[in-house]
Amino acid sequence: MKVPFLNLRAINARDEHAIISACERVIKSGWYVNSEEVSNFESKFSNYCGTKYCIGVANGLDALKLTLAAWKILGKLKDGDEVLVPGNTFIATVLAVIDTGLNPVFVEPDPETFLISNSSLESAITSRCKAIIPVHLYGQLVDLSALRGVIEKHELLVLEDSAQAHGASLMGKRAGNLGHAAAFSFYPGKNLGALGDGGAVTTNDAELASLIKALANYGSEDKYVHSFVGYNSRLDAIQAAILNVKLTRLDNDIELRRKIVHRYLNEISNPHISLPSINDTQSHVWHLFVVKTEFRKALQAWLTAHDVQTLVHYPIAPHKQEALSQFSHTILPVTENLQSVVLSLPVDPTLDNEQVSYVIDVCNKFKLNAENHPL
Ligand SMILES: *Cc1c(COP(=O)(O)O)cnc(C)c1O
């Protein structure tokens, strides 16, 4: 049996007819940019997240960057201000900060939840910190209410990086509606994925929303009238039309992921594999199912040999990347340890029961012997 990590072809095949007719509608409309398809998606997605506004943009990185750039124009941030980011995240979170002339300050995660926590936040914060980007990593919400004390004390702007957490909710509030603004990605492999790049910002702040809308469209609100030095970062009509189809399936896909995870958590029982811990079932949408093991190389080789595809999220932390060598002296022991012990198992919503049983079985049969060298 073969278990792919994420079978995008199978995922999208379930909506093939609806996707094709959505594309056909766009092709025949003659409107390919800034069209009604985009505003339709924006209102559906803001409604889904529970926010007043949603602005479609070109990708998740731009969603982060445009929000930070807008805060600079609004006078809420200025060059050189510090922004708290988790040490363990996808590099986009950090690039967005650097690209807008701000300085990242890395915060260690809690090794159990993989998310930033109060104690590490308190030790990282400085008086120059003006904003925080909590990343809902692997699909689990950062509990912002637990961080409220620090956020309020330092009057931090909160930009959720929700690229992995579409639909996750905590006490009835969804990702995207927990801070001052949130950035989403619709990269094909995300839980809500387009058939190309896409992204969005959600917020309840009217001024911020209209500024981001303008910034993403050459700094223009009226055609050929440019009020700001803007960018070209728009969500394509064709991707918006596809996202309108796929949004209707999101909640069901989250349930499918939760069912797979429920089995993994109950049935994987190998002492060499440590399973993730969850705070609250609704607050995790399982973009990734990440286990920890001291024997990653051996476990990954074992799973590969049995046709179970796994990936590592992420093998090199941002501050250890060559591209960010200015941070190479930063010391983040928790982050650095995680990058060598994490392994992501398949949690594709199209996996069938037999495939899930098979992954469990292969995991449970993993043993260490003379060839299974530890790390
Ligand atoms: C995917 C991702 C992004 C960037 O999204 P793109 O659409 O690829 O630009 C940002 N942050 C996190 C945590 C992500 O996983």
| 272 C-alpha to ligand 1 centroid (Å) | 31
Quick check: 169 and 29 in contact, CB under 8 A? Answer: no
CB 93 near ligand 1, within 6 Å: yes
* DSSP state at residue 58: S
Ligand 1 binding pocket includes 191 (Cβ within 6 Å): no
Pocket test for ligand 1, best of 67, 91, 93, 290 (most atoms within 8 A of CB): 93
Find out whether the beta carbon of 290 lies less than 6 Å from any atom of ligand 1: no
- Residue (of 46, 47, 25) closest to 36 by Cα position: 25
DSSP-derived pairing of the beta strands 82-86 and 103-107:
parallel
Q: Over its length of 375 residues, how does the chain's per-residue pLDDT go in tens digits?
A: 999 999 999 999 999 999 999 999 999 999 999 999 999 999 999 999 999 999 999 999 999 999 999 999 999 999 999 999 999 999 999 999 999 999 999 999 999 999 998 889 999 999 999 999 999 999 999 999 999 999 999 999 999 999 999 999 999 999 999 999 999 999 999 999 999 999 999 999 999 999 999 999 999 988 888 999 999 999 999 999 999 999 999 999 999 999 999 999 999 999 999 999 887 778 999 999 999 999 999 999 999 999 999 999 999 999 999 999 999 999 999 999 999 999 999 999 999 999 999 999 999 999 987 666 554
Angle (deg, nearest 10), helices 353-364 and 296-305: 130
Q: Is 61 near ligand 1, meaning CB less than 6 Å away? A: yes
Residue 286 region by backbone torsions, left for phi larger than 0, else alpha for psi between -120 and 50, else beta: left
Cβ 156 under 6 angstroms from ligand 1: no
Q: Identify the pLDDT of residue 371.
A: 63
Give the pLDDT score at 281.
78
Bridge-partner residues for 292, per DSSP?
A: 274, 342
Ligand 1 close to Cβ of residue 185 (< 6 A): yes
Do 148 and 170 touch, CB atoms closer than 8 A?
no
Cβ(163) – ligand 1 distance below 6 Å? yes
Residue nearest to atom 7 of ligand 1 (CA): 60
C-beta 59 within 6 A of ligand 1: yes
Hey, which of 57, 185, 197, 312 would you mutate to test ligand 1's pocket, going by the most ligand atoms within 8 Å of its Cβ? 185
Q: State which of 64, 141, 164 you would mutate to test the pocket of ligand 1, scoring each by most atoms of that ligand within 8 A of its C-beta.
A: 164
CA distance 106 to 334: 12
CA distances, 361 to each of 154, 156, 294, 297, 308 (Å):
49, 46, 20, 19, 11
Angstrom distances, CA of residue 122 to CA of 7, 78, 84, 150: 41, 22, 11, 7
pTM comes to: 0.97
Tokens standing for 57? Answer: 């943009």
CB 201 near ligand 1, within 6 Å = no
- The alpha carbon of 60 and the centre of ligand 1 are apart by a number of angstroms equal to 5
